[in-house]
Amino acid sequence: MAKGKGKKLPASSNSPECVKVVVRCRPLSKGEMSDGKKSTVNIDTKRGQIAIKNPKLDEKEPAKQFTFDIVYNWNTEQITLYQETASPIVDSCLEGYNGTIFCYGQTGTGKTFTMEGDLSDDKTKGIIPNAFDHVFRAIETSQDDKKFLVRASFLEIYNEEVRDLLSKNSANTKLELKENVDTGVYVKNLTSFVVKGVSEIRNVLAVGKKNRTVGTTLMNRDSSRSHSIFTIVIECSETVNQESGDSKIRVGKLNLVDLAGSERQSKTGATGERLKEATKINLSLSALGNVISALVDGRSGHIPYRDSKLTRLLQDSLGGNTKTVMVANIGPADYNYDETMSTLRYANRAKNIKNKPRINEDPKDAMLREFQSEIARLKAQLQNAAGSGAGEAAGSSARAAAAAEVTEDDKEQIRREVEEEMRGKGDNLLTPESKRKLEAESEERCREAARNLMQEQEKLRREAEYHGRGERARAEGG
Ligand SMILES: Nc1ncnc2c1ncn2[C@@H]1O[C@H](COP(=O)(O)OP(=O)(O)OP(=O)(O)O)[C@@H](O)[C@H]1O
Ligand SMILES: [Mg+2]
């Protein structure tokens, strides 16, 4: 099996940098082998070169040569590709850069295999599950003065509509794309979950995968009929001044993109729904191609990001504030020569896209900042409601329970309110019956006030411990 070559895409820097492009060639499939298909591709992993021969031309004709940052052949292990190609981007996201990893290529060439792979098998799991392990391992081993908050969302673009894969009703909820100066293009009302470990984020992936649109074609039994984007937002707050407790927050956003494959109807045999999907897939992929060309030839200032949902969502990844890696997936078989050539040309052009990544420091929409001010607000509220001891109750449920006692002043106030209400209704407060009523009603309201206090304190305690983890869903950006 191929071992790591010791190559690694370069680590973080703040200067403009080109999109990194690597190519991965899958093995001939069983079907291709039994049909007697031949490989037209020759891969030189040491030099990062691919040579491809046109099967229609004479054997003696020279092969076409392409050079990329890294090339992978049919026996490259998933972990090798992860460590060399994906891991530097994930490290950058942990430092506060935006990163995008996307797989591009003809249908059936291994995009989903590369992004996801077999989730249940350590050896064949792909970039997404490896990134989960990486992110949470880094958080576990980070220094104490750093606090992290991780959120995940998952969407697909199906037939040019954006769908929330984490929503119960994903097929029927079409989401809108919005844009604002601070956050750029975002999806309004997209669900995102705060996740505190690998098993939680894997659950998020599993829920979304069930909703993703997959169909069978002649080229791929499990063909992705949509483009999908799994996004992990990593917020990190670091104390910069121990005395004042001042902190800075950095936010890195990691987009893991599994595109639907380009396809020809004559090969996939697509009809009906499959054909309609294929038309939309090919349209958005050519919009992506046009954006890449416009960025690279530099003659026109206009970049047609608005021509498809895919290019709008990837706007920051192509020519913007993101570190981007493109994995171009190809198949080696002779009958796919034209598609393989087209992928290699596409990938070759993408190498020249320049991005301007920078660390996102203290962005306005940082959720950690929201949590911090929410905690401060709750503390102040508790201090008001239950005397000085209450404000410190955040860390201790025992103290929280004690502080949930409604004070004598509060009880008096509640009693006066009830009295006034009763008078307003014309009750004669001198009769024994109305006195009993006043006592009973006041007691009930005091109990309710105590319950509310308890809930507030429980909320405060959970958020102080980082922070409302688990099921907290949030509409991002909207
Ligand atoms: N490097 C590889 N090694 C072994 N098997 C692979 C490799 N790449 C892809 N395959 C197999 O090839 C088949 C097609 O792969 P996959 O579904 O990932 O293609 P795809 O590019 O996502 O296609 P589509 O565009 O139709 O979604 C799968 O059975 C997958 O397991
Ligand atoms: Mg796929």
Q: What is the pLDDT of residues 295-319, one digit of tens each?
A: 998 777 899 999 999 999 999 999 9
Residue 450 confidence class, pLDDT cut points 50, 70, 90: confident
Q: Which ligand is nearest to the CA of 104?
A: 1
Contact 256, 130 (CB under 8 A): no
Q: Is 224 in the pocket of ligand 1 (CB under 6 A)?
A: yes
How far apart CA 163 and CA 156 sit, in angstroms, is: 5
**Backbone φ, ψ for residue 238 (5° rounding):** -125, 130
Q: Tell me the per-residue pLDDT of 141-160, one tens digit each, with 9 for 90 and over.
A: 998 888 899 999 999 999 99
Identify the weakest region by mean pLDDT among 239-243, 362-366, 415-419: 362-366
| Across 460-466, average pLDDT | 58
| Across 311-332, average pLDDT | 95
Q: What is the pLDDT of residue 4?
A: 42
| Across 439-453, average pLDDT | 86
Does the pLDDT value for residue 2 go beyond 50? Answer: no
Contact 286, 267 (CB under 8 A): no
Q: What is the pLDDT of residue 349?
A: 92
Q: What is the pLDDT of residue 397?
A: 42
How far apart CA 330 and CA 248 sit, in angstroms, is: 43
111 alpha carbon – ligand 1 mean position (Å): 6
Q: Which ligand is nearest to the CA of 261?
A: 1
Is 87 strand, coil or helix? helix
Q: Is 112 in the pocket of ligand 1 (CB under 6 A)?
A: yes
| Across 428-457, average pLDDT | 84
Residue 468 confidence class, pLDDT cut points 50, 70, 90: very low
Q: What is the pLDDT of residue 115?
A: 98
Q: CA triplet 187, 191, 197: central angle to 5 degrees?
A: 125
Contact 392, 400 (CB under 8 A): no
Looking at residue 328, its amino acid is A
Q: Which of 181-190, 256-265, 337-346 has the highest mean pLDDT?
A: 337-346
Contact 334, 37 (CB under 8 A): yes
Does the pLDDT value for residue 405 go beyond 70? Answer: no
Specify binding-site residues.
105-112
Q: Which ligand is nearest to the CA of 117?
A: 1
Q: CA triplet 339, 343, 344: central angle to 5 degrees?
A: 115
Q: Is 110 in the pocket of ligand 1 (CB under 6 A)?
A: yes
Q: Is 113 in the pocket of ligand 1 (CB under 6 A)?
A: yes
Identify which has the larger pLDDT, 235 or 472.
Answer: 235
258 alpha carbon – ligand 2 mean position (Å): 7
The closest-lying atom of ligand 1 relative to the alpha carbon of residue 262 is 25
The closest-lying atom of ligand 1 relative to the alpha carbon of residue 113 is 18
Positive or negative CA dihedral for 43, 114, 16, 185? Answer: positive
Does the pLDDT value for residue 5 go beyond 60? Answer: no
Q: What is the pLDDT of residue 13?
A: 58
Q: Tell me the per-residue pLDDT of 273-294, one tens digit each, with 9 for 90 and over.
A: 889 888 999 899 999 999 998 9
Give percent above pLDDT 90 in the chain: 56
By most ligand atoms within 8 Å of CB, the mutation choice from 28, 75, 80, 112 for ligand 1 is 112
Residue nearest atom 18 of ligand 1, based on CA coordinates: 110
Does the pLDDT value for residue 90 go beyond 50? Answer: yes
Does the pLDDT value for residue 44 go beyond 90? Answer: yes
Q: What is the pLDDT of residue 395?
A: 42
Residue 466 confidence class, pLDDT cut points 50, 70, 90: very low
Does the pLDDT value for residue 368 go beyond 60? Answer: yes
Q: Is 262 in the pocket of ligand 1 (CB under 6 A)?
A: no
Helix residue ranges per DSSP H, 425-471: 432-464
- Mean pLDDT across the chain, nearest whole number? 86
Does the pLDDT value for residue 79 go beyond 90? Answer: yes
Identify the weakest region by mean pLDDT among 22-31, 40-49, 219-228: 219-228
Q: What is the pLDDT of residue 232?
A: 98
Q: What is the pLDDT of residue 258?
A: 96
| Across 116-135, average pLDDT | 97
Does the pLDDT value for residue 45 go beyond 60? Answer: yes
pTM score > 0.85 for this model? no
Q: What is the pLDDT of residue 14?
A: 63
How far apart CA 294 and CA 301 sit, in angstroms, is: 8
Residue 396 confidence class, pLDDT cut points 50, 70, 90: very low
Identify which has the larger pLDDT, 377 or 466.
Answer: 377
Does the pLDDT value for residue 401 go beyond 70? Answer: no
| Across 333-351, average pLDDT | 95
107 alpha carbon – ligand 2 mean position (Å): 7
Domains and their CATH numbers in the chain? 17-355 (3.40.850.10), 367-475 (no CATH)
Contact 18, 355 (CB under 8 A): yes
Q: Which ligand is nearest to the CA of 262?
A: 1
Identify the weakest region by mean pLDDT among 80-84, 325-329, 424-428: 424-428
Could you give the dihedral angle defined by the CA atoms of residues 347, 184, 177 and 212, in that order, rounded to the nearest 10 degrees?
Answer: 50
Residue nearest atom 10 of ligand 1, based on CA coordinates: 110
Q: What is the pLDDT of residue 338?
A: 95
Does the pLDDT value for residue 374 go beyond 80? Answer: no
Does the pLDDT value for residue 471 go beyond 60? Answer: no
Residue 365 confidence class, pLDDT cut points 50, 70, 90: confident
| Across 258-282, average pLDDT | 89
| Across 46-51, average pLDDT | 96
